[in-house]
Amino acid sequence: MLNSDLIKSFAFDLGFDDCGITNCCVSEKYFNFFNDWLDKNYHADMNYLKKNLEIRKNLNLLVENAKSVIVVLMNYNNIDFFKDKNISIAKYAYGTDYHIVIKNKLYDFIHKIKEIYPNVNCRCFVDSAPILERYFAKKAGLGFIGKNNCLITKKFGSFVFIGEIILDLEFINYDKENIEECEKCNKCIEFCPTGALTEFCLNSNKCISYQTIENKNKIPKELSNKIKKQIFGCDICQNVCPHNQNLEINNHAEFQILPKILNFDKSELNNLTDKKFEEKFSETALSRINREKMVGNCGN
């Protein structure tokens, strides 16, 4: 059995901002909630979410004999550089693509674990596998899931990236699940410009983040009318949250705003070919969309 204090110290040494450890079980209640959400078609056309439901429930299908999940967080909070501009880009996309940054750190983390437990069987993930990430982060005591559907932490609010290592070893001590709730607050629901949020439920079809990033088709008129300046993602339901006020700015070099993001404006798009767009934004989260989609987002 592993000592969780030692393993967590590795996480902090590697630059993660928090770390929690829990077992692999998925509660029936949460799994059913996720299934209900899919049944309502709130996943829009992100059909990959409907695949591999068995894996979401049973992590043994990802890592044989899986026993534990180490969940790590990285703060990406920053000032809103687009506050006074006529476009806005979600904060999570300001710096280097978090998939790259966190995956590399998780590989180093695994290396450290293997120095002590060479026979451990483990894999790491960032948004890349059918894992109920926020659920495991909550279960590992790192925060609670708010009505805006985000993981809300004490220290960093909801501006955090989540990564996991699933491993076939048990720990002496697991963290206690966070059982906090939003209680009477409804700010994110009230301020969402498209009515995408209801209590604990996000309808992706109406969400600006989905529409400007995931939706491969034209944004429906009834929604584009409500999109003021978001050209990649939307932070409104996070910005209004009381847990996100007066937070520390992240201190990770990788998540500081890149000049090419800071100085980006609509007119630049006209001078970029598809290939130039791709080259310019490779290694940033903006690479999730192509130039044509960005043009559509700019013009709505």
**According to the binding rule CB under 6 A, does residue 153 interact with ligand SF4?**
no
Among the residue ranges 40-48, 128-136, 161-169, 207-215, the one whose residues contact ligand SF4 (CB under 6 A) = 207-215
Among the residue ranges 38-46, 127-135, 233-241, 286-294, the one whose residues contact ligand SF4 (CB under 6 A) = 233-241
**Would you say 201 and 113 are in contact if contact means Cβ atoms under 8 Å apart?**
no
**In the complex, minimum distance from the CB of residue 159 to ligand SF4, in angstroms, rounded to a whole number:** 12
127 is annotated as an active-site residue: yes
Site string for ligand SF4, 112-141 (x = CB under 6 A): ------------------------------
**In the complex, minimum distance from the CB of residue 154 to ligand SF4, in angstroms, rounded to a whole number:** 12
d(CA 195, CA 202): 9
**According to the binding rule CB under 6 A, does residue 208 interact with ligand SF4?**
yes
**According to the binding rule CB under 6 A, does residue 242 interact with ligand SF4?**
yes
**In the complex, minimum distance from the CB of residue 237 to ligand SF4, in angstroms, rounded to a whole number:** 3
d(CA 247, CA 56): 32
Q: Residue from 26, 234, 261, 285 that binds ligand SF4 (CB under 6 A)?
A: 234
One-letter amino acid at 295 equals V
**According to the binding rule CB under 6 A, does residue 284 interact with ligand SF4?**
no
**According to the binding rule CB under 6 A, does residue 241 interact with ligand SF4?**
yes
Q: Which is nearer to ligand SF4, 4 or 204 (CB)?
A: 204
Give CA angle at 24 (18, 26), nearest 5°.
105
**According to the binding rule CB under 6 A, does residue 77 interact with ligand SF4?**
no
d(CA 199, CA 197): 7
Q: Give the count of residues interacting with ligand SF4 (CB under 6 A).
A: 23
Which of 36, 127, 175, 265 is an active site residue?
127
**According to the binding rule CB under 6 A, does residue 93 interact with ligand SF4?**
no
**According to the binding rule CB under 6 A, does residue 207 interact with ligand SF4?**
yes
**In the complex, minimum distance from the CB of residue 233 to ligand SF4, in angstroms, rounded to a whole number:** 7
**According to the binding rule CB under 6 A, does residue 219 interact with ligand SF4?**
no
Instruction: Give the catalytic positions in this structure.
Output: 127
Residues that bind ligand SF4 (CB under 6 A): 146-148, 182, 185-188, 192, 194, 196-197, 202, 207-209, 234, 236-237, 240-243
